Amino acid sequence: MLLDWGYVAIFALVGAGMVSMPLAIIALISPRSSYPHKRETYESGMAPIGEAWSQFNVRYYLFSLIFVVFDVEIIYLYPWAVVARSLGAPAFYSIVVFLAVLVLGLAYAWRKGALEWT
Amino acid sequence: MVGEALAFYLLAAITLASGIVVVTSPNLVHSAVALVPALLGVTGLYILLNAEFLAGVQVLIYAGGITVLILFVIMLTEGATGLRVPQRNEQGPIGAAVAGAAAAVLIAVATRTPWAHGAGVLPSYTPGAIGESFLGPNLLLFEGTSVVLLVTLVGAILIARKED
Amino acid sequence: MITLTHYLVLSALLFGLGLYAVLTRRNSVAMLMGIELMLNAANINLVAFNKYAAPGAMQGQIFALIVITIAACEAAVGLALILAAYRRFETTYVDELDTMKG
Amino acid sequence: MDVMPWYVEVLRAIVGTIIIFSAVAIVTAMLGVLLERRISAWIQSRIGPVHVGPRGLLQTVANTVKLLQKEYILPRNADAVIFSSAVIVVPLAALLDYVVLPFGTTRAGPLIYRDLNIGVLYFAATSSLIVVGILMAGWGSNNKYALLGGLRSAAQMVSYEIPIGLVLITIAMLAGSLSTVTIVNAQTHLWFIVSQPVSFVIFFVAAIAEVNRAPFDLVEAESELVAGYFSEYTGMRFALFQLGEYGEMFAMAALAVTLFFGGWQGPVLPSVVWFLIKLYVLVFVFMWVRWTYPRFRIDQLLNFSWKILIPVALANLVVTAFFVIVVH
């Protein structure tokens, strides 16, 4: 089993090298020139107003919050899925209870308007 | 076995080095981004410890979920990343002493205790073993988790929503 | 040869790092990241004990799974609190959140 | 399994990696971009690229050579470290998916880089890393379009990860395993597209959204956000993001082939050919959809995932579980 992951590690390392290779090539061969506005931030031709690092809508957080909760839920379903068939009916009832509680959560989020983008 | 040692030290170095960036970087986004290699290093350690399923969970939840959540909140609250304000309080030396002492005590305990080595072999297919455990002796834990998640969802939405 | 002690020492170091962040950082999100590091240190211990001290059972890994779950819940609620506090007081720095000070 | 000396294993891994990376770069990014341009031209009654090479086949090669010669610009206000590392993270995370995709079979066993026993979970985990890369690119550019594109993209991708996860679980339950090879073998008699059409529709729609393509492409809505999170990237860095995008699209299509269309299985023709035929048919449908439907708004997009796809996927999971576990 560790052998499998050794392969994956080499895949990641060699892959990172191969992805960086074109960047190394352009660092060597690409032309350089400089004039005052070259490194200006692109804002459709206007001079940029303020910084982009300003604040954004809280909606983004609400969605990612619901996402994390459901992501954790899904994690618990993976081990269930591999043994469900061999364990028979009890596996079905336990998952129905598990999901029912979470559907309550989804319904609550829906009801409270956390799923609305306003 | 040489390979295992090599992998362990490499992963430990990645984890600790990124951990140091997380803890010391004056730029909050850098801290949050450095959290990713730290978590991936821990993922590698899980794999060395034959916990494949947990490794997948670690990447999916921590690196792909919690880090995104943290990045969102930093971007929502810190206009210019907090670079203009000091990031550390005046407890620097005391904090370092306390954290160092805690780590030293833990290391002393870890190295001096003659740890018992249990018998048995780890199941080679961890998702299956965990699934059987969840549908067997740990059923209550499994069902209880869904309640914890429900409470989290309700609580967090209540807190984060704008009161209109 | 990598033994249980190796993992425990690594986890102690990681725990120390996390604790340092919690004690010295002013920003609440940065403190939260420190807590995540500490939880990861605890998880390394759990999984390492599972492999070396009790390989017959899966309890260590299942505990670690629960810890990850709780970490996700803690992050979700904690960050929601930080956002709520930010909306009210316009800051995420814990030493500026002193309304409750007597 | 026979034990080989470690350096043979390492060599095998390195060679395998290089083959897969080159194949993905050629088959997905180069041919994929060309295909996209030809298909869009065909749908819009244009001609498309025809001048470079026979029938325009070398167009993307020429483009790549052009991009190699372009200067790369680091915007003055950008965060150099994060801006530059995002370029590596996005394509690498997309290409890591290919580790578990089986693309054929031989007498010695299936052609796959490594048949991990957490297969589909590994796929879900590596593709979730792309979100981090996109947020890094968006924030690192310190450009309003890029940051807004990055945030939108992240919100969209995480929303659609959930239905994909639910579909993966449904299929894993049918096959009783997370390994992709086992899932393919479980379809010897009946492809899962027949027994699980609802799952396929959910997967397909969510996959389009996950790879940020029209009608879910408001992340890169050219008319409002320029190029989205990679607006500030020039030359080869831009090309690497394209590689990441097309790599992930082909990975999603290949996963759909693995989960629903029996993977490499098929009569007469060699297994790899069957796999490629199925892959390209699906990719064609992806492109067809892109050039046919108008774009969603962000509220419609997020609502669609949470209010339609996820409830349907949950219901589908429970119904399937009922039939598979209780009835049988």
Contact C5 B111 (CB under 8 A): yes
What is residue B15's predicted lDDT score, i.e. its pLDDT?
Answer: 93
Across the interface, which of B77, B132, B139 has its CB nearest the CB of A94? B139
Angle between helices B28-48 and B67-77 (to 10 degrees): 170
Estimate to the nearest angstrom the gap between the alpha carbon of B146 and the chain centroid. Answer: 21
D100 touches chain A (CB under 8 A): no
Across the interface, which of B27, B64, B75 has its CB nearest the CB of D131? B64
CATH code at position B42: 1.20.120.1200
- The tokens describing A85, both together, are 């068939």
pLDDT in tens, D76-111: 777 778 888 888 888 899 889 888 888 888 877 788
CATH level 2 (architecture), domain C4-91:
Orthogonal Bundle (1.10)
Tabulate helix, strand, coil % of chain D (nearest 5).
75, 0, 25
What is residue B116's predicted lDDT score, i.e. its pLDDT?
Answer: 73
Find the closest chain A residue to D170 by CA distance: A81
Range of weakest confidence among A24-28, B130-134, D160-164: A24-28
Q: Which residues of A touch D16 (CB under 8 A)?
A: 7, 11
The interface pTM score, or ipTM, of the predicted complex is 0.88
Query: With touching defined as 3+ CB pairs under 8 A, do chains A and B touch?
Result: yes
A117 touches chain B (CB under 8 A): no
The enclosing H or E element of D110 equals strand D109-111
D326 touches chain A (CB under 8 A): yes
Contact C76 A69 (CB under 8 A): yes
Asked if residue A101 has pLDDT above 70, the reply is yes
The enclosing H or E element of D232 equals none
- The tokens describing C85, both together, are 């506090």
pLDDT in tens, C32-45: 999 999 999 999 99
Rounded Cα–Cα distance for residues D223 and D221 (Å):
6
Rounded Cα–Cα distance for residues B146 and B141 (Å):
9
pLDDT in tens, C52-101: 887 777 888 888 999 999 999 999 999 888 888 887 777 777 777 666 66
The whole-number average pLDDT for the span B22-47 is: 90
**Which of B83, B115, B142 is the last residue in one of the domains?**
B83
**Which of B49, B83, B117 is the last residue in one of the domains?**
B83
Quick one: B75 and B137 in the same domain?
no
What is residue B164's predicted lDDT score, i.e. its pLDDT?
Answer: 47
Place D1 in a pLDDT band, splitting at 50, 70 and 90.
very low
D315 touches chain A (CB under 8 A): no
Min Cα–Cα distance to chain C from A86, Å = 19
pLDDT in tens, B62-90: 888 899 889 888 887 765 555 666 667 77
Range of weakest confidence among A45-59, A70-84, D164-178, D250-264: A45-59
A69 touches chain C (CB under 8 A): yes
Contact A72 C79 (CB under 8 A): no
What is residue A37's predicted lDDT score, i.e. its pLDDT?
Answer: 63
B116, part of any domain: no
Asked if residue D231 has pLDDT above 60, the reply is yes
Rounded Cα–Cα distance for residues D301 and D309 (Å):
11
Across the interface, which of B3, B72, B139 has its CB nearest the CB of A60? B72
- The reported pTM is 0.89
B18, part of any domain: yes
Residue type, C68: I
Contact A51 B143 (CB under 8 A): no
- What are the start-end ranges of the H helices in D44-118? 59-68, 80-96
The enclosing H or E element of D111 equals strand D109-111
D308 touches chain A (CB under 8 A): no
Quick one: B79 and B129 in the same domain?
no
Which residue, among D262, D253, D251, D263, has the nearest Cα to D102 in the 3D structure? D263
Asked if residue A78 has pLDDT above 50, the reply is yes
- The tokens describing D42, both together, are 């065909």
Angle between helices B28-48 and C28-52 (to 10 degrees): 10
Contact B160, A61 (CB under 8 A): yes
Radius of gyration of chain D, Cα coordinates, nearest whole angstrom: 20
- The burial class, CB within 10 Å (0-12 / 13-18 / 19+), for D124 is buried
B40 touches chain C (CB under 8 A): no
B113, part of any domain: no
DSSP state of B113: S
Q: Which residues of A touch C87 (CB under 8 A)?
A: 58
B144, part of any domain: yes
The whole-number average pLDDT for the span C1-26 is: 88
CATH 1.20.58.1610 fits A2-111, yes or no: yes
D29 touches chain A (CB under 8 A): no
Quick one: B129 and B79 in the same domain?
no
Q: How many residues does chain C have?
A: 102
What range does the domain containing B153 cover? 125-164
Verify cis geometry, omega within 30 degrees of 0, for the bond prior to D49: no
B103, part of any domain: no
pLDDT in tens, D123-142: 999 988 988 988 888 887 77
The residue with greater pLDDT, D314 or C96, is: D314
Rounded Cα–Cα distance for residues D320 and D313 (Å):
10
Best of A5, A34, A51, A78 to mutate (most D CBs within 10 Å, chain D): A78
The whole-number average pLDDT for the span A8-21 is: 86
Place D221 in a pLDDT band, splitting at 50, 70 and 90.
low
